[in-house]
Amino acid sequence: MPDHEGGETPHTPPPRDRKAEAQQGGSSDIFFAAVKATRMPMIVTDPHQPDNPIIFCNDAFTFMTGYTQAEIVGSNCRFLQGPETDRSVVDQVRTAIRTREEVAVEILNYRKNGSTFWNALFVSPVYDDDGELVYFFGSQLDISRRREAEDALHEAQKMEAVGKLTGGIAHDFNNLLQVILGYVDILEARVADGDRASRRAVEAISGAASRGATLTQQLLAFARKQELRDRLLNFNSLVTDFRPILDRTVGDSVALRRQLADNLWNCRIDPVQAEMALLNIVGNARDAVDDDSGRITITTRNVLLPEDADGEGGAALKLDAGEYVQVTVADNGPGVDPAIADKIFDPFFTTKDMGKGTGLGLAMVYGFMRQSGGLATVGTSDDGGALFSLYFPRASGATERRSNPALSKPAAHGVERVLMVEDQEEVGELGRAMLQDLGYDVVLAHNAREALDVLARDANFQLLFTDILMPGGMNGVGLAQAVKRDYPRTAILLTTGFADEAIDEGSRSYELIRKPYRRGELNERIRAVLDKPGART
């Protein structure tokens, strides 16, 4: 029962020495016997003594607070308070004590070891047969788990709202970037090789827009509005390509080392999520190390589990035996306390100060790794700091080579007809210009119904190129399904700068190009669709 801060209470001479009786166990008093026997933490205070001290507590109360009976009896309840205890709640209890009324509150209290717990406190006056105030009785209940669950739910709802807002902004931003990058590619094709000033300007615009496109991909990944499409890649290449962002995250004062294994095996993962996972862990390492003397090391190697686990017993136990690509991030910070190591990947668990972390970063890493068929673990590095290990299953095959889309030349082909469907006017006009510049005959529709009307009049189109998100009741996936059913000879290519789970499930049956796309990349994807064996050309 919290503080009464020495507030005045009406004084009635006690008819007997209650404190002495309580310290003797109150064996003749059914009230004290009941309080002592119950499993709910309870105390009794004497308002007739100065400062309304505790005169009796049961074993459940000592267990909950960590104090002994000798430390508790004779003290005012304020010893349970601390810096974060809400003073308004304390005032509420004080007022109830002064007016001799019942009160029920939830208050943050402190145990003897300094840890906090949420206390559901009920205080009630106790009267004798003559109607005189004898004691104040307080029952307590540790409701920390319930409060934490409520806080976690509130945080999840907040993050969901932030995710929706972020996804919507990123979707609109992707459409703007699509217009910028598309016209940059058109301009680049028209700038004379000798016009260096114009070419530098075009390259600067292209570079800035490309960085913006990377940012929107990360925003969509955070908002879980980025469709996950894994591909075969080599993690050494991912670390190398992602180096500028990692360097900026770490800063100049901390040494970032890379020890990349030769002949590293390939793995099949979503590159955007893999980059975000690596960035999350490196960012945590940066927060843990000291400036100037901090060291972070990214290492890649091939491992055979469980034989080559090198002490990573947890990984061996939770993963099937086999060949894995191991990516580790080690730092020379204070390390991870073994007592919390098993909680480090739990949602909403964080060791950072209030307001400096949501506790979702490492949880997202763990979820991504499990979805990828791998695992994330934490241990101790050789320097005594934290050691995070990511295990990706080995995949066979050759990795894709990324060409420079802006420099790709159109493949030789005849004049093929494309039905483009895009509800954003600027993006639609750009797409038509890009496709015409590539040599295609283009008809532009602004929604699914208009596109079906066009096909009803003239079905002679080799390709349907449609955005996924559109107004009017039918999205691009629904349009693709209708065209596949009624016009099976027309190839289909989808595009979007945004996705959700329901749409993703339907879109997996079709080829897809992400906004913002480049001129050369668009031509390559169209040719890949049209030049498939059996495609109508």
- Residue 127 in contact with residue 134, Cβ under 8 Å? yes
The residues that bridge with 375 in the sheet, in sequence order, are: 391
Q: State residue 415's pLDDT score.
A: 79
Cα-Cα-Cα-Cα torsion 219, 222, 228, 232, nearest 10 degrees, comes to 80
Tell me whether the omega of the peptide bond preceding residue 306 falls within 30 degrees of 0, making it cis: yes
Q: Can you give the pTM of this predicted structure?
A: 0.46
CA 280/CA 243 separation, integer angstroms: 14
Q: State residue 402's pLDDT score.
A: 45
Instruction: Flag the least confident range among 163-172, 177-186, 321-330, 488-497.
Output: 163-172
Predicted confidence (pLDDT) at residue 5 exceeds the cutoff of 70: no
pLDDT tens digits, one per residue of 241-265: 888 888 888 888 888 999 999 999 9
18 or 342, which is more confident: 342
What's at 471, amino acid-wise? P
* First-residue to last-residue Cα distance in the chain: 82
Look up tokens 């119950």; give the residue: 38
What's at 155, amino acid-wise? E
Give the list of residues 6+ apart from residue 64 with CB closer than 8 angstroms, or none. 41, 111, 117, 140, 142
The torsion angles phi and psi of 417, rounded to 5 degrees, stand at -95, 135
Tell me whether the omega of the peptide bond preceding residue 516 falls within 30 degrees of 0, making it cis: yes
In 381-440, where do the E strands start and end? 386-395, 417-421
- Number of Cβ within 10 Å of residue 502's Cβ equals 10
Predicted confidence (pLDDT) at residue 279 exceeds the cutoff of 60: yes
Q: Is 164 exposed, middle or buried (0-12, 13-18, 19+ CB in 10 A)?
A: middle
Q: State residue 22's pLDDT score.
A: 44
The conformation of residue 153, written as its DSSP 8-state character, comes to H
Instruction: Flag the least confident range among 8-12, 13-17, 247-251.
Output: 8-12
341 falls in which pLDDT band (50, 70, 90)?
Answer: low
Mean pLDDT of 436-464: 93
Q: State residue 183's pLDDT score.
A: 84
Coil, strand or helix: which one is 281? helix
Q: State residue 437's pLDDT score.
A: 86
CA 190/CA 519 separation, integer angstroms: 13
443 falls in which pLDDT band (50, 70, 90)?
Answer: very high
Q: State residue 313's pLDDT score.
A: 47
Kind plus residue range of the DSSP H or E element containing 203: helix 196-222
CA 302/CA 329 separation, integer angstroms: 15
Kind plus residue range of the DSSP H or E element containing 363: helix 361-371
